[in-house]
Amino acid sequence: MINSDNLCMSCMREIGSAKQCPYCGFHVDSQQSADYLPIRTVLGNRYLVGKLLEFNGDGATYMGLDLTTRSTINIREYFPLGLAVREKETLRVSSASGKERIFDEYMQSFTELWRKLHRLNGLSALIKVNEVIEGGGTCYAITENIKGVSLREYLLKNTSSGYLPWEKARTLLMPVLSTLGTLHNSGIVHRGISPSTLIVADDGKIRITGFSISAARSAHTDLQEEIFPGYAAFEQYGFEGRQGPWTDIYAFGAVLYRTLIGTDPIDAKERVANDRLMIPGRFAEQLPAYVINGLVNALQILPDDRIKNVEELRDELSASPNAVAAADKKMDIEQIRTTQREEPAARTDSAEIIAEARRRHKRSVVIIVLSTIIIVAVIAIVVMLFLSDGKFSGAQKTTTVSVSQEQVEVPNFVNNNYEDVINDKYYSSNFTIEKQEVYSDTVEEGVIMKQSITPGTQTGKMSKIVLTVSKGVEYISFPSSGVIGAGYTEAKALLEKSGFKVTRVEKNNESGQTKDVVYQASLDGGAVYPKGSQVILTVWGEYTTTTTTTTTASTTSSSQEANGNISDLLNGILNNSNNG
């Protein structure tokens, strides 16, 4: 049995008879606030309660220790401020007088939230929930204690500039975006994504923490609100607009902005009156155009103008650096392309993408050749065995297959490198591993994304396990012909069949050109781009003899609806670049 008197109640390390912890500085005589669980309380005969770490509208989080596994944990208690009271002797929680109904409703929401999160254990960027227990008039969520620092601390302490270049930010944050998509599909909207609730663990990967029920993250409810200025969406302040996945999209966009630019975004309430959210020129010159476009569309103030879901935002953040998707409808395409040619960073980025695509193509050819050789060899062996098994001699043989009854536990292969797994002697001697490759724009090439048998399952030795491995981003070539000079309908069909997304812009037609014929494209013929990249096709409009220039635009991208704000931002970017 663990003697809790020898433990620091802040970090749960052994400190003997010392009065002050030599590791974290916590003093053993420190007292807990009277409203919360006393230090050294034991829940369910298993979980030791330590220091109060934080509290907000719907509950409190304590440092803890699992007395069974002797591992550090966090304990999240439903204890809504202003709605709950605690009996000092029994520590039982009950509702404040007259608040019984709302107390019970919020506790049901709290319990459902953490039970859903418990069912989602295994997501790479999500805090692990060990158990959800009810008792003492309330509910407790037992979660892992993540060793690491907040994203805010990480950017301040682990970078010399306080921000990251796009490629590093992409590696760090895209798994968060994928996990958000899974949460949204499960009916969970976080509403508190910020540099404070994203923890960079010791393994270098981010975990999403800081979950609370919706009432604690919205203004004008019965709970004390916890809203993160600069990261909370406009609708969370109680103004017009429903909350949903797009609320987290805004917060993620704000986190990405902070990570790339080094400063907190202006609060949404202030932007309503005066939208001064700008990207400094020196960053605009370095960031790919499609990243700026993704930021613009994720940070639209009004929910109706904003990107609606994770899939749309992932598409924008994975587009070609040369694509100008969702750019201002009134902005001249040639001007945009000229601006891009003047940016050496974008040109270098494009060259690197093309080079990497060619390298992957060569590797794919080698894999195909080797696979063909193996298949031919296997067929030859099968034919030989078939012929030698008495097919023509009339002999009949009985084959006895020996099946091992030895059982082994299936480990968690997900997020490991496939080459490391197959080269591990333990895995190769206990499992038959089969590889299945899929393209992914969020998971690095060669990393395992999924496995056919759930981790922890007991299975027969040498059982087959199919590992789904990322092939990285899929690249496609822009057609060298069939676009310029073709009708818009035919060109659009060709490009969409190839894997591109198409946006249409009309060009003023004063020279009698054929209407709807493609005049130019924003991508170069024969060049290589990530699948799903957007291309802007400029087509001739209706023939007109007037001197008034009228440009109309039709787009298949919902993100272009917010053209006013995009125009202001892009013009600001160009002005800053020119002034710089």
Tokens (6 digits) for 342:
């003047």
Give the domain range for residue 58.
Answer: 1-145
Residue 489 lies in a domain: no
pLDDT at 416 over 90: no
Pairing of strands 129-135, 138-144: antiparallel
Report the pLDDT value the prediction gives residue 257, as an integer from 0 to 100.
97
Residue 122 lies in a domain: yes
DSSP for 482-517, written as a single string? SSTTSBHHHHHHHHHHHT-EEEEEEEEE-S-PPTTB
Residue 116 lies in a domain: yes
Closest CA to 236 of 211, 215, 219: 219
Long-range CB contacts (within 8 A, 24+) of 20-26: 26/51
Residue 382 lies in a domain: no
Please state, in angstroms and rounded to a whole number, the distance separating the CA atoms of residues 123 and 182: 9
Please state, in angstroms and rounded to a whole number, the distance separating the CA atoms of residues 88 and 133: 21
Please state, in angstroms and rounded to a whole number, the distance separating the CA atoms of residues 133 and 152: 32
Count of the separate structural domains present in the chain? 1
At 18, which CATH number?
Answer: 3.30.200.20
pLDDT at 170 over 80: yes
Tokens (6 digits) for 226:
């916890």
Report the pLDDT value the prediction gives residue 537, as an integer from 0 to 100.
92
Closest CA to 324 of 550, 505, 578, 576: 505
Beta carbons within 8 Å of 319's beta carbon, 6+ residues apart:
290, 293, 294, 325, 530, 532, 533, 534
Please state, in angstroms and rounded to a whole number, the distance separating the CA atoms of residues 399 and 419: 35
Mean pLDDT lowest among 22-31, 52-61, 234-243, 450-459: 234-243
Residue 339 lies in a domain: no
Express each pLDDT in 280-300 by its tens digit. 888 888 999 999 999 999 999
pLDDT band for position 378 (50/70/90)?
A: low
Please state, in angstroms and rounded to a whole number, the distance separating the CA atoms of residues 178 and 37: 36
Contact 473, 318 (CB under 8 A): yes
Task: Indicate the pTM of the whole model.
Answer: 0.58
Residue 42 lies in a domain: yes
Q: How many CB atoms lie within 10 A of CB 301?
A: 20
Report the pLDDT value the prediction gives residue 405, as an integer from 0 to 100.
55
- Strands (DSSP E) found in 291-410: 407-409
Contact 74, 217 (CB under 8 A): no
Residue 458 lies in a domain: no
Contact 386, 440 (CB under 8 A): no
- Cα-based angle 166, 170, 172 (whole degrees, multiple of 5): 120
Express each pLDDT in 318-363 by its tens digit. 873 433 444 443 233 233 222 332 333 333 333 343 334 334 434 4
3-class DSSP assignment, residue 86 = strand
Q: For residue 417, what are the β-bridge partners? A: 447
Report the pLDDT value the prediction gives residue 375, as an integer from 0 to 100.
55
Contact 255, 198 (CB under 8 A): yes
Return the sign of the alpha-carbon dihedral for residues 20, 21, 24, 26.
negative
What amino acid occupies position 518? V
Report the pLDDT value the prediction gives residue 107, as an integer from 0 to 100.
97
Q: For residue 398, what are the β-bridge partners? A: none
Percent share of the chain, pLDDT over 90: 57
Q: How many CB atoms lie within 10 A of CB 53?
A: 15
Residue 76 lies in a domain: yes
Please state, in angstroms and rounded to a whole number, the distance separating the CA atoms of residues 347 and 321: 8
pLDDT band for position 438 (50/70/90)?
A: very high
Contact 65, 47 (CB under 8 A): yes
